[in-house]
Amino acid sequence: MSNANDKSILIVGSMAFDDLELPSGNFADVVGGSATYCAYAASLFSGVKIVAVVGDDFPAATLDSLAQRGVNTDGIERVDGKTFRWKGRYAQNLSSRTTLDTQLNVFADFRPKLPTSYQKCTHLLLGNIHPALQLEVLDQVEKPEFVAADTMNFWIEGERPTLERVLKKIDCLVVNDEEIRQLSGEHNIKQAAARVLKMGPKRLIVKRGEYGAMLFDEHGIFFAPAYPLEAEVDPTGAGDVFAGAFMGFLARESEMDRGSLRRALMMAATVASFCVESVGTERVQTLTREDVAHRLESLRSLVHFGA
């Protein structure tokens, strides 16, 4: 077993510009993407390496900001053309959103290429990209200690056989309510989870937004509540921050047992709550361990029922 200092997380995902129509206003060219959010969150706890692609319009300031948080950005390929762009409109109460436009741009031809220095990583987080690309990444790394993957309705519907191959190669799937229901064909969460666990991963995390998150594994079910916020501003990326913080925290733990997974889920819920408090990565990119430790205590007391 490697010691804690050797641990590092490799994150593969998108880096993007988001145009956001939020109840608090419209925000254009907000730097986002799953890899960006995941990396900021994971960097709170562990060394992070990113594999992604950006266009020539992507701000150097973001790459600098990531590097300042200890994120290795060598695997971020910069190519001629425009960065991936997503435009979405949120409902007044932020509980739903509509995609208004998606421009894949340089992301359309993305083939993850890992620098040699990336081939050894203890933890691998396969962001929500084409499952064939997730497999390509898996092929390029030496066997990590722990592999988690995200996916979405688009791949569940259109790329199921490939996605099923991914499921057989990962330790943990991280999805939301709708995705687990679609993947399993079962509405009941407990039954849906049982079906997905039979597809390969030994652990499953179901993110339920303001209703918290659930971990299903061989120890049963664990539930982490969402931190109740007074002001929700922008949920974009909160799910990615959740996954990034989960993996980052887990990489720091000396043992991987029932307790560490549960603590990682509580930590993930805590870090994700900060993400929602401001537009884009604004709050997450300046977050400190002290900020997080304080809120984690509040989250713990939320479920503390002792006398």
The site for its own copies (CB under 8 A) is made up of 92-93, 187-191, 208, 210-212, 214, 220-225, 228-232, 257-260, 262-263, 265-266, 298, 300-307
Between 106 and 247, CB nearer to its own copies: 247
Between 49 and 181, CB nearer to its own copies: 181
Strands 25-32 and 16-22: antiparallel
Between 21 and 159, CB nearer to its own copies: 21
Closest alpha carbon to 111 in 71, 51, 152: 51
Alpha helices, H only, 141-231: 153-158, 160-167, 177-184, 189-197
Between 50 and 205, CB nearer to its own copies: 205
Smallest gap from residue 16 Cβ to its own copies (A): 28
Smallest gap from residue 198 Cβ to its own copies (A): 15
Euclidean distance between CA atoms 70 and 68, whole angstroms: 5
Smallest gap from residue 201 Cβ to its own copies (A): 18
Strands 97-103 and 123-126: unpaired
249-253, Cβ contacts within 8 angstroms, sequence gap of 24 or more: 249/45, 250/123, 250/146, 251/7, 251/8, 251/9, 251/42, 251/45, 251/46, 251/122, 251/123, 251/146, 252/4, 252/7, 252/45, 252/46
Smallest gap from residue 246 Cβ to its own copies (A): 13
Between 198 and 300, CB nearer to its own copies: 300
Euclidean distance between CA atoms 245 and 267, whole angstroms: 7
For CA atoms 249, 253, 255, 258, the dihedral sign is negative
Contacts of 55 (CB under 8 A, 6+ apart): 78, 79, 80, 81, 82, 83, 84, 105, 106
Closest alpha carbon to 138 in 175, 157, 112, 116: 112
Between 102 and 254, CB nearer to its own copies: 254
Smallest gap from residue 263 Cβ to its own copies (A): 6
Between 30 and 214, CB nearer to its own copies: 214
Smallest gap from residue 210 Cβ to its own copies (A): 8
Smallest gap from residue 294 Cβ to its own copies (A): 14
